[in-house]
Amino acid sequence: MNAQKGFTLIELMIVVAIIGILAAIAIPAYQDYTVRTQVSEGLSLSSGLKTAVGDFYSTKGVWPVDNAEAVCGVTPAPANCTVGAAATDNRGNYVSQVAVDNGNIVVSYSKTAPQKANADVDGKFLTLRPGVDNAKNITWVCGTATAPSNLTMATAPSNATNVESRYLPASCKI
């Protein structure tokens, strides 16, 4: 009697089918993960401006109009205050600029060189909106999240969040 060596054709076809099914599930999930990572870069880059906007509001009682006013205290920025005074000073691998717009922080994503954002977020914006409560504590509301009713929010920015909610961090969609 001859002993069977190797796999039969049907066994190989089953293995290929299983690999195909796993790939069909894993690849889209990984693509969503990479886009969410790109969106989170904007939150990291905005952290310095959040501090500057908060300090400006705490000192002057009004929201800064732009990056220069938030970082330097006045607009236009004086010659001795240049770091971070322009929206394009705050850019990353996927973020083309982080701009202050009447206290709101607007993160812009781009795939135009040198940025390499995914097409799903190219040309999209993520807005961080500051609000203050009666005790003058500043709370940041991210993306499409609803602001708590006890906050007085900064005026609406010229660019609202238009990044798809599936790509936003959990704190930005509550």
Under the banding of pLDDT at 50, 70 and 90, the label for residue 159 is: low
123-161 in b/e burial notation, b at 16+ Cβ within 10 A?
ebbbbbbbbbeeeeebebbbbbbeeeeebebbeebebeb
pLDDT tens per residue across span 2-18: 777 778 889 999 999 99
Cβ count near 62 (within 10 Å):
12
Domain boundaries along the sequence of the chain = 9-172
| Residue 154 reports pLDDT greater than 80 | yes
Higher pLDDT residue, 120 or 74?
A: 120
| Residue 122 reports pLDDT greater than 90 | yes
Q: Calculate the average pLDDT of the chain.
A: 87
Separation of alpha carbons 163 and 174, rounded Å? 15
Q: Which fold has domain 9-172?
A: Glycoprotein, Type 4 Pilin (3.30.700)
The predicted model scores a pTM of 0.81
Mean pLDDT of 139-148: 87
β-strands 125-132, 104-109 pairing: antiparallel
pLDDT tens per residue across span 56-103: 999 999 999 888 888 888 777 777 777 666 777 788 999 999 999 999
